[in-house]
Structures are given as structure tokens and as C-alpha cells.
């Protein structure tokens, strides 16, 4: 037997095993796999034919035919190998080339079968080699196949990875080696072995991920997604659950504060409230981050007033700075368009997070808040930078800054509370808003965070916003201050009185200049006089001149007139009026005047007997955080009816205790349907709806309430979700306002003032 036969038998065994493994395995349906299966089958046939051809020695014709099949099969293998390489570089689109090559292959096979082949045998009848035109045609085309493969690899070297080109390169290498060996010893023909090695290399380099493995991966992915959902649901439930007892803790502590308890107990109550509020912040942070991770956090874009937002953020930071003695510099570019379109709630959250950190991590020096803008077409890029002279961040820690639960400079900030969630949330929010955040810091010297976010500009005239200037959110309380209204028109007096009543003035009104003069001459003292100009007999200007003749007269006099043409203000001021208000009186202008003259009064001699109180109110810029101390307020809402809707009795109890002091008449309902029933049969001035109730939640209840004919009562959403989330629901679902749980009494009062005093 030809010794080469042993190699052929080994090749046959190997290819059969390989085919067994390959064809029994689950594979993905890829083009690569399709070509490879053909290559493998042809390889098995090829080895079989080689063995058969070497075994048949007595029948030369059969041997010749088998040999010709063998050559055709080998050429077919070569062609399939070309296709495989073409697929790697060109992808699926090789149909045309395939067709051309197959036609060519048909001609060559035809030639191989038509032309003769001869065997060179030794005395024992063993074939040493073959020759003849048929063999020459085969050799030429097979070498051509090798060349084509070489060119494909060389010209597409960058496209094919080394791993993928390995079968082809080794095929060419073994071919050259086989050629050299055959020239030296024509008996030794290793071509079938070379082919088998290349086939085996394709098998090992082909992308053939196990289908089962793919299934497992996709199952694992599904399970991970489910777990993530479960985690965020759990966290959101937990947050709600934690808030429920927190509400009771904070609520009852607040109530305890109002009672006569020893000072030491007061301190402890304050500590309880502070600790609960810290816990609340942590719960909010966890809730936000889990929402972001579960892709549940929505960006809700709406029109908003940027200056009001910046003002609120600044005021909050001022409150945070408190007694710390830091210099807070606020530099806001006045070129920022008034109304922008974006998610103001999240923007506020971003700024508050960074500003809070700046205050938290700065012991002395300054915090600078700078907002500038670049306007292009209808887009405004807000560039907001917050710089501090605080502890700074080490350079190597900068890349960990935005990772969740990561707190840096641990040695320096042992006493500073925090969870390491703030900046992770900030970064995600900035990303969600397609913005950018940059941090610069020098360890020990300070840090600078710069955020840039693009917002669409809404021209003021196109805006649907009822322009609510910043001052409107402030609560001006002028209790005790005396006002004299001078107007000949009773109706005007009525309107002005209604407007002024809100600020708790003691209002007196007269219908002529003469009456006004006589009041002053009789020694009556007022904090401000609003004087109408166009009055019969004695005009406002004439009255003012007479008033000024009284030596002791120093009261600010504000001209009140329907004459609102431009230049009038200057004219009135020139006449000696202290200020000017045009009719109909604009609330904002009125508040400006009140603030201006009441604060000035304080430094002088104040007429009203509550002067010091007025000063304390006006001193502080009043906002959500900064309303005057509750103890001092006795806002009376008697006659107003409030409906509290909450399934939790403890919450209702706390809220009722808080609301009682305002003399409101309070009704309660345990669920949405009870609330709807009550609203159908009674009139309410304000409704508080708990966010989550069994059966019908706040949103559904509101939707149902809206279907009641003539329903226009303000509805406030009351819930344990994070502030940003509640704000989001207010915007989306049409609530009038929101009130977080645990209920903050200052916030509750603000809600009452905003909704009931409207």
C-alpha cells in the first residue's frame, strides 16, 4: 500500500469526526456557516476519492474516472474557499462573482473529463504521480485559485482580522511547501492534507456562537432587566413606605414644637425634624437614581421663566449658606431670554445639587454662581458655572466624581453628610438634557463646575405663560401698616382695597383731597398714601402741594392715576409724588411700591404699631424656604372649605392639625370615589389629593373630578414621591400645585396663600 495512504486515512477520520461535531451542533444561520458546511462536505468526498483512487490499481479506466472526479472536487473546494474569503471582505453581495466563477468551473471540469490523464506507476502498481492535459488544466486552475485567495487577502488586509485570514494564509503556505516537496520527490503529494488543515482552521476561526449560549445570554439579559425593574419598583415602594412613617414623625414633631415644652425637649424635637429631613433627601436621591437607571425618568419640557428659576435657586442657596459666612456672588447675564423651553424642574435640580455641594464643601471664602448665555437663532445656550473656594478635589479622583455612591476626599469630609448620589444624578440629568458638565478643581483651593445646556427660546409675545414675575412668588405681609386711599370713585377704592387687603394693611379710604388733608391735619398718621390725581374740586397734585405745606408731613405719597401715557411717571415725580401707579393697578408694581416704602419706613419712624414685624418680613427675601416664622403668622382663612383626601388616617390627622390654625373648615375623604361624591354635593375652595390611594389614585380622581360640570376648584397633589416627580405630575396632569410628604408647614402655608388668596 502507498505509505501516503496512512495520511489519507487520518485525514478521512479527522474530517468525518469534524463533520459529526459540526453538523450535530446548533448553529446560527449565517452565510459563513453555509459556505463552510459545503467546504467540509467537499473535503470529506475529496479524501474518500483519493483513497478510492489509490486503492484501484487493476482497472485503469475506473481509476482514471475516479481521479477526474477527485480533481474536480478539489477544484470545487478551491472555488468554495475563494467564496469564503470574498464573503469576509465583501459581505453577502457576491452572487454575480459566484455565477461567473461557477460557469468557468463548469468549462474546466468539462476539460478535465475530456482530456486524458496518465498514471506513472512503479513495478508494484503503486501510482507515483499523474500527468497529461487533464492534470495540467487542473494544476493551472488550482494554482490560480491559490493566487486569487492571496490577492484577496493582500488587498483587503485591513478589513480581515489576522484570525480570519489564518486559514487562507496557512493554505497558501502549505501549498507552496507541498509544491517544493513534490518537485524534490514527485511521489510525496500532501495536497489533500493541506486542504484538510485549512478546512479545520476555518472551523476554528468561524464566528459560531452556540445557539444555546445565545439563548442563555438573552435569558440572562431578560432576567437582569426584570431584576432591575423589580429593584426600581422596590425602591420606589420603599421610598413611599419610608415616607409614610416619616410623615408621622415630622408631623407630630412639628406639632410638638408648638406646644409648651421645655427648651431641652425643643432642641431634641428640632434634631428629630432635621434628621428626618436628611433621611428624606437620601430617599429622594435613591429614588431618582433608580428611576434614571430603569429609564423611567422623563424629561418634561415646558415653557418656563428662567429668571424666576435662577432667583429661586439663588434664594435656596442663600438659605443654605445661612450663618456660614460665605460670600455668595451671583452674576447673571441679563441677555438671557426671559422665556425658555425645557425641563425647568430638572434644571433646578442640577443647579441646586451643585450649589449645595459648593456650600457644603467650602468652609470659608466664596461661592460664585455665574450664568451667561450664547444665543443663536432660536436656541439659547445656558452656561452655568459654580465656583467655590472649598476643599477641592484631587486630580486622580476627578474621574470617579460622577459615579454613584462615590465620596471623595473622605479624610477631609468626615463630618460632612452625604451619600455620593448628588453628582451621579446631576450628570445623568445633564446627559438626558443633551448638555455637558465640566469640572475643574485644585485640591485644597477650590472647584468649578460648569454646565451648559441648550434651551429653545420662546418669544414673550408667543408664550402661553402668564408672566409671573419673580416678586409674585414672594409673600409680602404688611400687617399693621396703615394706608390711606384717596379716590373720588368708590369703585376704584373698592378694587384697590381688595388688592391691598391681601397684604394685611389697615386700609382707610376718603373720596376727596380735602378729606385727606383734614385727616393729616387732625394728626392721623399713615405709612403710605395712594392719591388719585383726577378728582373734582381738588386734584391729586393740588392736594399734594397742600400736604407738603404741613411741616410734619413726611408720608410717602403715591400717585394713582388712569393717565398712563409715557412720560407721566416723570411728570408726577417732578410734582413731588414719591412714586406712581397707573390704573388698573398691576399687582407686581403694587408690590414693588409696598416693599419700597415699607422697608424705608422701618429706618425712619414707623406709624403702624407692628413696625418691627414689617421690617423682619421685608428683610428676608421671602420664598418657599424663607417665609416668615409661622408663629408670627395668623393668616385667617375662615369661611374657606378644604377637602382632604387620603387613605391614611394618620396623614389626615396630621394635615388636619396643621390646617386647623388657619380657621379653615376641613372635610375629609378616604378615597377618590368618596371625594367625588363629596365634591358633587358640596362646594370646596381647595382639595388636597393623596398621590397613591387604593382603587383610584390622585391622577384618576382628578380626571373624574374634571368631568363634573362647572368644577373649577384648585386641586393640590399631596404625595410621598420626590419633589421633582410631584412637580412633573403637576405639569403633566393639571394639578394646581403639589405638597410633599412629610408635610412642610411653610410649604403648606404657601400653597394655601397661593390658592386661597387668589
- Report residue 630 as a C-alpha cell: 409661622
The CB-of-425 to ligand ADP minimum distance in angstroms stands at 8
Is residue 660 a contact partner of residue 254, using CB atoms and an 8 Å limit?
no
Name which of 200 and 447 has its Cβ closer to ligand ADP.
447
Q: Return the sign of the alpha-carbon dihedral for residues 127, 133, 138, 143.
A: positive
Burial of residue 128, with CB atoms counted within 10 A of its CB: 0-12 exposed, 13-18 middle, 19 or more buried: middle
The CB-of-444 to ligand ADP minimum distance in angstroms stands at 10
- Report the alpha-carbon distance of residue 329 to residue 365 in Å, rounded: 11
DSSP three-state, residue 412 = coil
> What are the E-state strand segments in 413-460?
436-442, 446-457
- Report the alpha-carbon distance of residue 192 to residue 213 in Å, rounded: 34
Name which of 336 and 401 has its Cβ closer to ligand ADP.
401
- Report residue 352 as a C-alpha cell: 441646586
The count of chain residues that interact with ligand ADP, using the rule CB under 6 A, is 21
Site for ligand ADP in 375-434 (CB under 6 A): 388, 390-393, 401, 407-409, 413, 418-424
Tell whether residue 447 is a contact of ligand ADP (CB under 6 A).
yes
The CB-of-406 to ligand ADP minimum distance in angstroms stands at 6
Pick from 77, 84, 304, 361: which binds ligand ADP (CB under 6 A)? 361
Name which of 447 and 474 has its Cβ closer to ligand ADP.
447
DSSP assignments along 45-71, one per residue = HHHHHHHHHHH--S-HHHHHHHHHHHH
Name which of 7 and 402 has its Cβ closer to ligand ADP.
402
In the block, which residue shows the cell 412633573? 728
Name which of 87 and 401 has its Cβ closer to ligand ADP.
401
Name which of 32 and 368 has its Cβ closer to ligand ADP.
368
Name which of 439 and 588 has its Cβ closer to ligand ADP.
439
DSSP structural state of residue 744:
P
- Report the alpha-carbon distance of residue 740 to residue 729 in Å, rounded: 12
- Report the alpha-carbon distance of residue 63 to residue 116 in Å, rounded: 12
The CB-of-491 to ligand ADP minimum distance in angstroms stands at 56
Cβ-based neighbours of 324, under 8 Å, separated by 6 or more: 359
- Report the alpha-carbon distance of residue 220 to residue 423 in Å, rounded: 30
Name which of 254 and 388 has its Cβ closer to ligand ADP.
388
In the block, which residue shows the cell 370713585? 489
Site for ligand ADP in 53-72 (CB under 6 A): none
Name which of 424 and 698 has its Cβ closer to ligand ADP.
424
Site for ligand ADP in 331-360 (CB under 6 A): 357-358
- Report residue 335 as a C-alpha cell: 441677555
Largest interatomic CA distance in the chain:
152
Return the ∠ at Cα 659 (arms to 657 and 661), rounded to 5°.
85
Site for ligand ADP in 716-735 (CB under 6 A): none
In the block, which residue shows the cell 438626558? 432
Q: Which residues pair with 446 in a beta bridge?
A: 442
The CB-of-347 to ligand ADP minimum distance in angstroms stands at 17
DSSP three-state, residue 442 = strand
The CB-of-279 to ligand ADP minimum distance in angstroms stands at 13
Q: What track of x and - describes contact with ligand ADP for positions 299 through 338 (by CB under 6 A)?
A: ----------------------------------------
* Rg, Å, the chain Cα set: 44
The CB-of-418 to ligand ADP minimum distance in angstroms stands at 3
In the block, which residue shows the cell 486503492? 55
The CB-of-730 to ligand ADP minimum distance in angstroms stands at 26
- Report the alpha-carbon distance of residue 430 to residue 343 in Å, rounded: 11
The CB-of-439 to ligand ADP minimum distance in angstroms stands at 8
The CB-of-623 to ligand ADP minimum distance in angstroms stands at 23
Name which of 422 and 742 has its Cβ closer to ligand ADP.
422
Site for ligand ADP in 110-149 (CB under 6 A): none
Indicate the pairing of strand 118-121 with strand 127-131: antiparallel
The CB-of-428 to ligand ADP minimum distance in angstroms stands at 11
Helices 60-90 and 162-184 sit at what angle, rounded to 10 degrees? 150
Name which of 132 and 420 has its Cβ closer to ligand ADP.
420
Name which of 439 and 585 has its Cβ closer to ligand ADP.
439
Nearest Cα to Cα of residue 736 among 755, 708, 720: 755
DSSP three-state, residue 486 = strand
Tell whether residue 664 is a contact of ligand ADP (CB under 6 A).
no
Is residue 674 a contact partner of residue 647, using CB atoms and an 8 Å limit?
no
Site for ligand ADP in 74-103 (CB under 6 A): none
Name which of 401 and 718 has its Cβ closer to ligand ADP.
401
Q: What track of x and - describes contact with ligand ADP for positions 279 through 298 (by CB under 6 A)?
A: --------------------
The CB-of-300 to ligand ADP minimum distance in angstroms stands at 23
The CB-of-97 to ligand ADP minimum distance in angstroms stands at 59
Binding residues for ligand ADP, per CB under 6 A? Answer: 357-358, 361, 388, 390-393, 401, 407-409, 413, 418-424, 447
Amino acid at each position: 500500500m502507498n505509505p501516503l495512504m496512512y495520511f489519507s486515512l487520518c485525514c478521512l477520520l479527522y474530517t468525518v469526526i469534524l463533520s459529526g461535531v459540526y453538523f450535530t451542533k446548533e448553529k446560527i444561520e449565517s452565510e459563513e456557516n453555509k459556505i463552510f458546511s459545503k467546504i467540509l462536505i467537499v473535503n470529506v468526498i475529496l479524501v474518500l476519492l483519493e483513497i478510492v483512487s489509490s486503492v484501484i490499481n487493476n482497472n485503469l479506466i475506473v481509476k482514471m474516472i475516479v481521479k477526474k472526479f477527485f480533481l474536480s472536487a478539489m477544484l470545487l473546494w478551491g472555488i468554495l474557499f475563494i467564496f469564503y474569503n470574498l464573503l469576509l471582505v465583501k459581505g453577502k453581495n457576491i452572487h454575480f462573482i459566484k455565477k461567473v466563477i461557477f460557469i468557468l468551473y463548469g468549462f474546466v471540469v468539462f476539460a478535465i473529463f475530456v482530456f486524458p490523464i496518465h498514471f506513472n506507476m512503479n513495478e508494484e502498481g503503486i501510482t507515483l504521480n499523474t500527468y497529461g492535459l487533464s492534470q495540467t488544466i487542473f494544476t493551472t486552475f488550482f494554482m490560480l485559485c491559490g493566487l486569487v485567495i492571496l490577492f484577496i487577502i493582500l488587498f483587503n488586509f485591513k478589513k480581515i482580522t489576522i484570525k480570519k485570514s489564518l486559514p487562507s494564509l496557512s493554505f497558501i503556505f502549505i501549498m507552496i511547501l507541498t509544491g517544493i516537496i513534490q518537485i524534490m520527490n514527485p511521489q510525496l503529494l500532501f495536497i489533500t492534507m493541506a486542504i484538510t488543515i485549512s478546512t479545520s482552521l476555518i472551523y476554528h476561526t468561524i464566528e459560531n456562537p452556540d445557539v444555546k449560549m445565545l439563548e442563555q445570554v438573552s435569558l440572562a439579559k431578560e432576567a437582569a432587566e426584570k431584576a432591575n425593574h423589580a429593584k426600581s419598583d422596590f425602591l420606589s415602594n420603599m421610598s413611599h413606605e419610608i415616607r409614610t412613617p416619616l410623615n408621622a414623625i415630622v408631623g407630630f414633631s412639628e406639632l410638638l414644637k408648638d406646644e409648651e415644652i421645655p427648651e431641652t425637649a425643643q432642641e431634641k424635637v428640632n434634631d428629630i425634624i432635621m434628621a428626618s429631613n436628611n433621611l428624606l433627601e437620601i430617599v429622594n436621591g435613591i429614588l431618582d437614581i433608580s428611576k434614571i437607571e430603569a429609564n423611567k425618568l422623563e424629561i418634561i419640557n415646558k415653557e418656563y421663566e428662567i429668571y424666576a428659576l435662577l432667583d429661586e435657586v439663588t434664594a435656596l442657596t442663600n438659605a443654605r449658606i445661612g450663618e456660614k459666612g460665605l460670600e455668595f456672588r451671583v452674576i447673571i447675564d441679563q441677555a438671557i431670554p426671559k422665556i425658555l423651553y425645557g425641563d425647568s424642574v430638572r434644571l433646578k435640580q442640577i443647579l441646586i445639587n451643585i450649589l449645595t455641594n459648593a456650600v457644603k464643601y467650602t468652609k470659608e471664602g466664596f461661592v460664585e454662581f455665574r450664568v451667561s448665555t450664547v444665543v443663536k437663532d432660536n436656541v439659547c445656550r445656558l452656561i452655568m458655572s459654580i465656583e467655590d473656594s472649598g476643599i477641592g478635589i484631587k486630580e486622580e479622583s476627578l474621574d470617579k466624581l460622577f459615579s454613584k455612591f462615590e465620596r471623595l476626599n473622605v479624610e477631609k469630609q468626615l463630618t460632612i453628610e452625604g451619600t455620593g448620589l448628588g453628582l451621579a444624578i446631576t450628570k445623568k440629568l445633564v446627559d438626558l438634557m443633551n448638555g455637558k458638565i465640566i469640572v475643574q478643581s485644585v485640591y485644597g483651593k477650590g472647584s468649578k463646575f460648569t454646565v451648559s445646556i441648550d434651551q429653545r427660546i420662546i418669544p414673550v409675545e408667543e408664550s402661553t405663560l402668564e408672566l409671573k414675575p419673580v416678586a409674585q412668588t414672594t409673600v409680602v405681609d404688611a400687617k399693621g401698616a396703615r394706608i390711606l386711599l384717596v379716590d373720588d370713585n368708590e369703585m376704584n377704592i373698592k378694587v384697590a382695597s381688595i388688592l391691598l387687603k391681601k397684604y394685611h394693611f389697615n386700609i382707610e379710604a376718603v373720596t376727596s383731597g380735602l378729606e385727606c388733608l383734614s385727616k393729616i391735619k387732625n394728626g392721623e398718621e399713615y405709612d403710605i398714601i395712594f392719591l388719585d390725581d383726577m378728582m373734582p374740586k381738588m386734584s391729586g397734585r393740588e392736594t399734594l402741594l397742600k400736604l407738603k405745606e404741613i411741616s410734619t408731613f413726611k408720608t410717602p405719597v403715591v400717585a394713582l392715576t388712569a393717565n398712563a401715557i409715557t412720560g407721566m411717571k416723570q411728570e408726577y415725580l417732578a410734582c413731588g409724588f414719591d412714586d406712581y401707579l397707573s390704573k388698573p393697578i398691576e399687582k407686581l408694581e403694587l408690590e414693588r411700591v409696598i416693599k419700597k416704602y415699607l422697608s424705608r419706613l422701618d429706618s425712619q419712624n414707623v406709624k403702624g404699631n407692628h413696625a418691627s414685624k414689617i421690617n423682619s418680613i421685608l428683610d428676608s427675601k421671602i420664598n418657599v424656604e424663607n417665609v416668615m416664622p409661622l408663629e408670627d403668622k395668623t393668616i385667617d382663612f375662615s369661611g374657606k372649605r378644604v377637602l382632604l383626601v387620603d387613605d391614611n388616617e394618620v396623614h389626615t390627622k396630621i394635615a388636619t392639625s396643621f390646617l386647623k390654625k388657619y380657621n379653615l373648615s376641613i372635610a375629609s375623604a378616604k378615597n377618590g370615589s368618596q371625594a367625588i361624591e363629596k365634591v358633587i354635593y358640596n362646594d370646596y375652595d381647595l382639595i388636597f389629593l393623596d398621590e397613591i390611594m387604593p382603587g383610584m389614585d390622585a391622577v384618576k380622581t382628578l380626571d373624574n373630578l374634571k368631568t363634573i360640570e362647572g368644577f373649577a376648584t384648585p386641586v393640590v397633589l399631596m404625595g410621598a414621591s420626590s419633589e421633582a416627580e410631584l412637580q412633573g405630575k403637576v405639569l403633566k396632569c393639571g394639578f394646581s400645585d403639589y405638597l410633599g410628604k412629610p408635610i412642610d408647614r411653610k410649604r403648606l402655608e404657601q400653597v394655601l396663600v397661593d390658592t386661597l388668596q387668589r
